[in-house]
Amino acid sequence: MKSLSACFLARNEESTIGRAVRSVVGVADEVVVVDTHSDDRTAEVAAAAGATVTQFTWGDDFAAGRDYTIRRATGDWILWMHGSEELLPESHAALRDCLGRENAFGFFVRIQTVVGDAQPQAAVTSDLRLFQKRTDLPQLFVGRLHPHFHPDALDAVRREGLEVTPCDVVLRHRVEAGRPSVSKLRFNLRLLEAELHERPGQLHYLIEYGRTLLLAEDDRGHDVLAQAAAQVAALRDVPSPPSAKVQVLLEYVLGAPGQRPGGPLSYDGARELALRWFPDSPNVLWALAQQSFRRRDYADAAEHLRRLLALGRSGAYDRSHGFDPGILGDEALINLGACYLQMRRFDEAEACLVQLVNNPRLGAQAQKFLEVARKRRQQQ
């Protein structure tokens, strides 16, 4: 059996790093925590939980931190984790199975997000977190913020016939409720600006920079996203999206047509690309449903909502970006009921709404819609 190193790059995660390390002790052959000179007891807590801890001088570059951490590891395989995550016990068998696979370089691990003290959400994203350690590849990662595998590294392993596939390993990620703090947004903006200064014009980071500016209530984000939209418009005829991050841009353009500077990418253009490039994206389908409802095109909105519910049942949705899991379930269902109500399809409206009358959050609204549907049916 191949050996496994669980790796963390951490800073000021005293409250969560112990749980994260303990979740992989005994599963991984070693646990490596690289601490970026935390101001709290992150290093001490990680060591007490069973990790080997070393220090790294932070240089505003997560890719450099990841590469350094991986070089410290001795395992044949790397499981990359954040200090706010934990490996679920039921994933141990799937993890061992992955390590024994032939012709595999890496696996997309499922990331299950928990907000605050809530129960685990049904929606999950995925990320390439389990992969072979390759000493022949000098740089695995690129990107000062949200680093990703260097294209040259992935091209090299694919030329060898090695695969990168999904797997059933699940990491539970715990996050705090609410918007990112001002300090967090400023930190992200600093790294994004440095990234784009070093490597200008990267579509992925241009979109992320514009989005982060808007989260920080900086209207320059509209101009940045207009630049990104111009890049996307020039590539509209390609068969697949130039970046998974494009769906974030399309959501932005679809969100309020005519009110935001989408550059040469119109609402209709964004809609066509969204349906062609991201037919299984929950966020894109939700944005399309919302806009169709606002335009009183209830039949179109209902089509997107039915698609969301079908994806929720099958689990075959795009996992590249996070989303509110309610839009694959109750939120989609109550809005579908409202669409049927507007189309005077009362039997179908009632079939949706009766499923929600006991819902703690949506029950009162569902009951109100249900009464309207029954009253209007009687008036026919």
Residue with tokens 């079939």: 351
> What percent of the chain lies above the pLDDT cut of 90?
87
Residue range 149-161: average pLDDT? Answer: 93
At residue 137 the predicted structure's pLDDT band, cuts being 50, 70 and 90, is confident
Q: Cα separation of 203 and 267, whole Å?
A: 19
- Spell out the residues 6+ positions from residue 191 whose beta carbon is closer than 8 angstroms to its own: 60, 61, 62, 144, 145
Which residue reads 């705090």 in tokens?
A: 176
* Among candidate residues 66, 61, 73, the one with its CA nearest the CA of residue 32: 73
- What pLDDT sits at residue 281? 97
339-351: average pLDDT: 96
pLDDT for res 119 = 57
Q: Per-residue pLDDT for 19 more than 70?
A: yes
Query: Among 26-30, 105-109, 257-261, whose mean pLDDT is lowest?
Result: 257-261
Indicate the pLDDT class of residue 124, thresholds 50, 70 and 90: confident
**Sign of the dihedral defined by the CA atoms of residues 26, 28, 34, 35, in that order:** negative
Return mean pLDDT, the chain. Answer: 93
Return the pLDDT at 341.
96
207: its two tokens: 């979109």
Residue 118 pLDDT more than 80?
Answer: no
Between 59 and 176, the higher pLDDT residue: 59
**Tally of residues, the chain:** 380
For the segment 281-293, the average pLDDT, to the nearest whole number, is: 96
Cα separation, 375 vs 378, in Å, equals 5
Q: How does DSSP classify residue 91? A: G
For residue 208, pLDDT over 90 is answered with yes
Q: For residue 122, name the pLDDT band (cuts at 50, 70, 90).
A: low
Give dist(CA 45, CA 92) in Å, integer.
24
Q: What is the pLDDT of residues 262-271, one digit of tens each?
A: 567 888 999 9
Residues forming beta bridges with residue 8, ordered by sequence position: 33, 81
Q: What angle do CA 314, 317, 320 make, to 5 degrees?
A: 150
- Position 176 scores a pLDDT of 79
pLDDT higher than threshold 60 for residue 125: yes
- pLDDT tens, residue by residue, 350-359: 999 999 999 9
| Mean of pLDDT values over 75-97 | 97
Residues 73-85 have a mean pLDDT of 97
Q: Mean pLDDT throughout 5-32?
A: 97
In angstroms, the CA 17 to CA 82 distance is 8
Residue 343 has pLDDT above 90, yes or no: yes
In the DSSP assignment, the letter for residue 361 is: T
Would you tell me how many other CB atoms lie within 10 Å of the CB of residue 131?
A: 24
Q: Which residues contact residue 284 at a Cβ distance below 8 angstroms, ignoring those fewer than 6 apart? A: 247, 250, 251, 254, 274, 278
Q: Residue 282 pLDDT more than 70? A: yes
Cα atoms found within 13 Å of the Cα of residue 83, Cβ hemisphere only: 23
Residue 144: φ, ψ to 5°: -70, -30
pLDDT at residue number 257: 56
Dihedral sign from CA coordinates of 68, 69, 73, 76: negative
| pLDDT mean over 134-148 | 92
149-184 exposure pattern, b = at least 16 Cβ within 10 A, e = fewer: bbeebbeebeeeebebeebebbbbbbeeeeeeeeee
Confidence grade of residue 1 (pLDDT, cut at 50, 70, 90): confident
Which amino acid type is present at position 171? L
Q: What was the pLDDT predicted at 174?
A: 85
**Closest CA relative to residue 184, chosen from 214, 216, 157:** 216
Nearest to 145 by CA among 201, 105, 184: 184
Average pLDDT over residues 218-239: 94
Task: Categorize the per-residue pLDDT at 121 as very low, low, confident or very high, splitting at 50, 70 and 90.
Answer: low
Tell me: pLDDT of 328 over 90.
yes
In the sheet that holds 77-81, the strands lie side by side as 52-55, 30-35, 4-10, 77-81, 124-132, 104-115, 163-175, 85-87
Per-residue confidence (pLDDT) for residue 219, from 0 to 100: 93
Whole-angstrom Cα distance, residue 313 to residue 108? 21
Closest by Cα among 202, 187, 239 to 58: 187
